[in-house]
Chain A
Amino acid sequence: MDKFTTLTGIAAPLPLVNVDTDMIIPKQFLKTIKRSGLGKALFYEMRYDENGNPNPDFILNREPWTRAEILVAGENFGCGSSREHAPWALKDFGIRCVIAPSFADIFYNNCFKNGILPVVLPEEAVGKLMEDAGKGGNARITVDLPQQTVSSSEGEVFRFEIDPFRKHCLLEGLDDIGLTLQKIRHIDSYEERQKGAMPWLWNGSAA
C-alpha cells in the first residue's frame, strides 16, 4: 500500500452533504475486474453531460482543480454502498485526502486500505477550508499526518484526530493481511476454542 505522510496540494471544494458512493462512481463502472483506470469516471454524472462531454461548471473540470489532490466536502461523505471503487476512483484521479465533517463508516475504512487519508474536522473548520479551496490558483492546503494537522493557504492550522493504529499503517504503508498473518497462532487457537464452543459453525450439516 502507498504511504501517506504529508501532502501540499490543490484542494477542490465540493459543498454537498451526503455525497454517496453512487455519485462518486456510478454502477456502470463497477463492471471492471481491475482496480485501476477509474479516475476518468469519478463523479461521472456531475462531471459529464448525457453525451459524455465534460460539464465545464463542475469543479474537477475547472482549472486548477483538474489537478486537485485534496477534496473538501460536506457531512456524511461516502454514504451508501461498500464499493471500494469509490476510493479507487478518487485515487486514480489523484485525490489523496478527503476532508469532511463526517464520513460513512465503510467508505472511511476503505480509504485507509488505499492510502487515502480521510480527515474529520468540525463543520466550521471545513467551512473555512472550503472557502480556501475555492480560491484555486496558488491556494494550497497542507495536510500533515504525523502532526495531525491541516493548514490553509493563509497558514491557519486545524488539528484532527485519527486512530493511532490506522495512522501507523498509513505512515508505514503497511499491508493489513501481512500484519494479520503474523498473528496466525492466535487465529489457530481461536478456531480450536470455537470448535468446542460453537461446533455447529464447523460441521453444521452433520447430525
Chain B
Amino acid sequence: MSEPRTLYDKIWDAHVVHEADDGTCLIYIDRHLVHEVTSPQAFEGLRMAGRTVRHPEKTVAVPDHNVPTDESRLHGIENEESRIQVETLKKNAEEFGIEYYDVNDPRQGIVHIIGPEQGWTLPGSTIVCGDSHTATHGAFGALAHGIGTSEVEHVLATQTLIQKKSKNMLVEVTGSVGPGVTAKDITLAIIGEIGTAGGTGHVIEYAGEAIRALSMEGRMTVCNMAIEGGARAGLIAPDETTFEYLKGRPHAPRGGMWELAVAEWKKLRSDEGARFDKVVRIEGEKIAPVVTWGTSPEDVVPITGTVPHPEDFEGPKREAVRRALDYMGLTPGTPMTEIEIDTVFIGSCTNGRIEDLRAVAEIVKGRKVKEGVRAMVVPGSGLVRMQAEEEGIADILREAGFEWRLPGCSMCLAMNPDQLAPGERCASTSNRNFEGRQGRGGRTHLLSPAMAAAAAITGRLTDVRELM
C-alpha cells in the first residue's frame, strides 16, 4: 500500500517533470492565463532571446485590469498607456498564436472569471497566471497559483515552472452557515482566524460540510482569497457540483473524453489518513456576516462588532493598527454599523459572478440606493453581464440606482478610471483593502455582495440580516 496522499500531493506528483537531488522540481503547467499588465515584459523577453511559445494552445489571453468599464471603450481606450498595454497584449497574442478575447468580445472579462467560464479550468490540472488571485481556480481541484513576469516568460517558453513543493494545510469549515452568511464571509472569517501570513509556504485545502454546500461560484470566492491568507494556492476537491458546472463549457472535454475525465477526477480527493502539516477547524455556525475595519484583509470583525483598540493587539501589529485606524479615519469603539459610506463597489474576481449579482438583486429589489451614495456593479465578464440582463437582474439594479457597467477589474485595483477620491469610503466586494488600493487615500471595507447591497440602501455598513 502506498502512503495516503493529500489532494495537493496527488496533483503535484502527476506534474513532476524532473526532480533534482535537493528537491527542486520542474513542474508541468497545463493552462496559462495571460493579461495585459504582467505579460508585456515576458513576451519581450522571448523575442529578445529568440524563443517561441512552446504550446500556444495551452494559453489564453484577455485584457481586464486596464479596461474602462463605461461605454467609451466601444470606441477605443482613451488613456494612452492603458491602450498601449492592451494593444501590446493583442499583438503578442497574434504573433505567438495565442487565443485572445478582445476588449469588446462578449467572452472578455476578468481572467479568473473567464477561465472557468470557458472551461479552461479543469480538475487535476496545473494553472498559472501572472496574477496572485489565480488561486481562484483551485475551486475546481486544480493546482493554481500566481507567478511573476519572469515566470510567465518561463512558462511560455517551456510550459513548466521551477518549484519546490509547499506544505499541506487543511482548513475545515464544519456544519452549516446561518442566513445572510456567504462564501465571502467564510473566506474572510478564515483569514481573520489564521492571519495574512497564516498560510505562507502552504497550499490550503478547504473542506467540511459548509464548503461542500457551496456552489462553484461560492467555492471560487473562497479559493480566490487563499492568497490573502498567505497561501500559495487554495484547493477544493471536485465533486458533482464541479462536474455539473463544467459540462458543456467550450473548452471542457466532450463525449467519451468527458466520461474518461470525470472517472479520473473522482479520484481527486485527499486519502483517508493523509497528513497535513497544519490543520484549522472553524465552526460554520459561528461565522457571522463580516466586514473589515483596517488596511489588511485579516482586519476582520463581525458586522455586529465595533472598531477595535490598538491596545487589543500586541507587538508590531499594534503600531500597524494605529496606522490603519488613522488611515481609515476610524475611532476605536465605534459600532461598525455606524460607519457611513460614500461608494459601493460590487464586482472583481472575488465576487463578480452571476450568483453574486443575484444576491445583490435579492436585497435591493424594490428598494433604492441611498441618496448621495455612488453604487456601481461591474460584472466579471461579458457573459455574466448578458446572463444578468436575461434574468432581469440588470433592470432591478438599474431601477434601484446602481450603475451597470461593462466587465473588467475596475475599482478592485483602480487602474482604470474607476477610482475613489482621497478620504472616500467604499463598501467593496473585492479582496484587498490596502492603503490606496482603490484610489489614493481611499478607504475600503471588504464585505460580501449581499452586505454591500445592504450598505448601498442604508448608506452605512449594515447587517444584511435586517433587510432579509
Contacts and interface: CB of A to CB of B under 8 A. Distances in A.
14 contacts: A16-B320, A23-B435, A31-B37, A33-B85, A79-B196, A84-B149, A105-B200, A105-B232, A179-B162, A180-B162, A200-B257, A200-B261, A201-B30, A204-B119
Nearest to B49: A177
B132 A81 contact: yes
Interface stretch (A2-10, A106-114, A150-158): A106-114
B26 A205 contact: no
B247 interface: no
State the majority secondary structure of interface residues on B: loop
| In the complex, the 4 A-B pairs of residues with the closest C-beta atoms, listed nearest first | A113-B150, A33-B40, A31-B81, A200-B253
Contact of B84 (A20, A33, A75, A110): A33
Interface in B245-264: 250-258, 260-261, 264
Contacts of B175: none
A49 B250 CA distance: 49
B334 interface: no
Given A82-B131, A104-B230, A205-B254, 12 more contacts: A23-B435, A33-B44, A34-B40, A82-B148, A163-B164, A180-B158, A187-B160, A200-B122, A203-B257, A204-B254, A204-B257, A207-B257
A124 interface: no
B20 interface: yes
A20 to B, nearest CB: 5
B414 A27 contact: yes
Interface in B391-429: 413-415, 422
B151 interface: yes
Contacts of A106: 132, 145-148
Contacts of B22: 163-165
A177 B153 contact: yes
Nearest to B162: A176
Given A80-B132, A82-B38, A45 B435 contact: yes
Chain B interface size, under 10 / 10 to 19 / 20 to 34 / 35 or more: 35 or more
B127 to A, nearest CB: 11
B194 to A, nearest CB: 13
Interface stretch (A90-98, A135-143, A191-199): A191-199
Contact of B26 (A18, A22, A186): A186
B147 A82 contact: yes
A173 interface: no
Given A17-B316, A198-B124, A199-B257, A187 B17 contact: yes
Interface string B103-147: 000000000000000010010110000111000000000000111
B132 A31 contact: no
A207 B232 contact: no
A185 to B, nearest CB: 9
Given A82-B132, A177-B154, A23 B26 contact: no
Contact of A180 (B66, B160, B256, B440): B160
Interface string B289-327: 000000010000000000000000000110010010000
A50 interface: yes
A18 B251 CA distance: 39
Contacts of B255: 207
Interface of B: 14, 17-18, 20, 22, 24, 26, 28, 30, 37-38, 40-41, 44, 49, 51, 54, 65-66, 79, 81-82, 84-85, 88, 119, 122, 124-125, 130-132, 145-151, 153-154, 157-160, 162, 164, 196-197, 200-201, 230, 232, 250-258, 260-261, 264, 296, 316-317, 320, 323, 413-415, 422, 432, 434-437, 440
A32 B17 contact: no
Interface residues of A, number: 61
Contact of A30 (B84, B253, B415): B415
A186 B15 CA distance: 12
Contact of A22 (B82, B88, B230, B432): B432
B154 A180 contact: yes
Given A22-B437, A113-B148, A79 B24 contact: no
A83 interface: yes
Given A45-B440, A181-B158, A207-B256, A18 B320 contact: yes
A203 B157 CA distance: 21
Nearest to B128: A82
Contact of A17 (B261, B317, B435): B317
A47 to B, nearest CB: 12
Nearest to B153: A177
Contacts of B85: 31, 33
Given A105-B232, A180-B154, A204-B122, A186 B432 contact: no
Given A34-B41, A79-B196, A105 B88 contact: no
B432 A177 contact: no
A177 B40 contact: no
A35 B162 CA distance: 22
Contacts of A186: 17-18, 26
Contacts of B260: 199-200
A26 interface: yes
Nearest to B149: A84
A50 B20 contact: no
A165 B160 CA distance: 17
